[in-house]
Amino acid sequence: MPATRPVRPLLDVRKIYLEPEAAALPRGQEVLARWPDAERVEVASHWNIPELHGDEGNVDRWVRIKTEALVLGVKKSLTARPNGRSSDFVAPSTANGCAMACAYCYVPRRKGYSNPITVFANIDKISGYLARHVGRQGVKTEPNQCDPHAWVYDIGESSDCSVDATVSDNVRDLVELFRGLPTAKASFATKHVNRDLLDWDPQGRTRIRFSLMPDRMARLVDVRTSRIADRIAAIDDFVEAGYEVHLNFSPVIVEDGWLEQWAELLDQVEAGIGARAKAQLACEVIMLTHNDRLHEVNLGWHPKAEEVLWRPDLQQPKRSETGGLNVRYRTGQKGRYVTALTDLIAERLPSCRVRYAF
**DSSP secondary structure string for all residues of 8-60:** PPS----EEEE-HHHHHSHHHHHHHHHSTTSEEEE-S-TT--TTTSS-GGGGG
* Domain 15-357 grouped into CATH 3.80.30.30: yes
- Which has the closest alpha carbon to 228: 190, 181, 256, 275? 190
pLDDT category of residue 5 using cuts at 50, 70 and 90: very low
The pLDDT, as a whole number, for residue 113 is: 64
pLDDT category of residue 55 using cuts at 50, 70 and 90: low
The pLDDT, as a whole number, for residue 6 is: 45
Task: Say if pTM beats, i.e. exceeds, 0.85.
Answer: yes
Residue 323 has pLDDT above 80, yes or no: no
pLDDT above 90 covers what percent of the chain? 83
Cβ atoms 159, 101 nearer than 8 A: no
Q: Which of the two residues, 158 and 324, has the higher pLDDT score?
A: 158
Residue 106 has pLDDT above 80, yes or no: no
- Domain map (residue ranges) of the chain: 15-357
The pLDDT, as a whole number, for residue 246 is: 98
Distance of alpha carbon 47 from alpha carbon 44, whole angstroms: 9
Least confidently predicted of 113-117, 261-265, 329-333:
113-117
Distance of alpha carbon 35 from alpha carbon 220, whole angstroms: 31
The pLDDT, as a whole number, for residue 1 is: 40
The pLDDT, as a whole number, for residue 111 is: 59
Cβ atoms 54, 111 nearer than 8 A: no
- What mean pLDDT value characterizes the chain? 93
| Average confidence (pLDDT) over 21-32 | 98
Burial pattern 17-30, b for ≥16 Cβ within 10 A else e, equals bbbeebbebebbeb
Question: What kind and span of H or E run contains 184?
Answer: strand 184-190
- Which has the closest alpha carbon to 172: 194, 200, 147? 200
Which 3 state secondary structure label does DSSP give 224?
A: coil
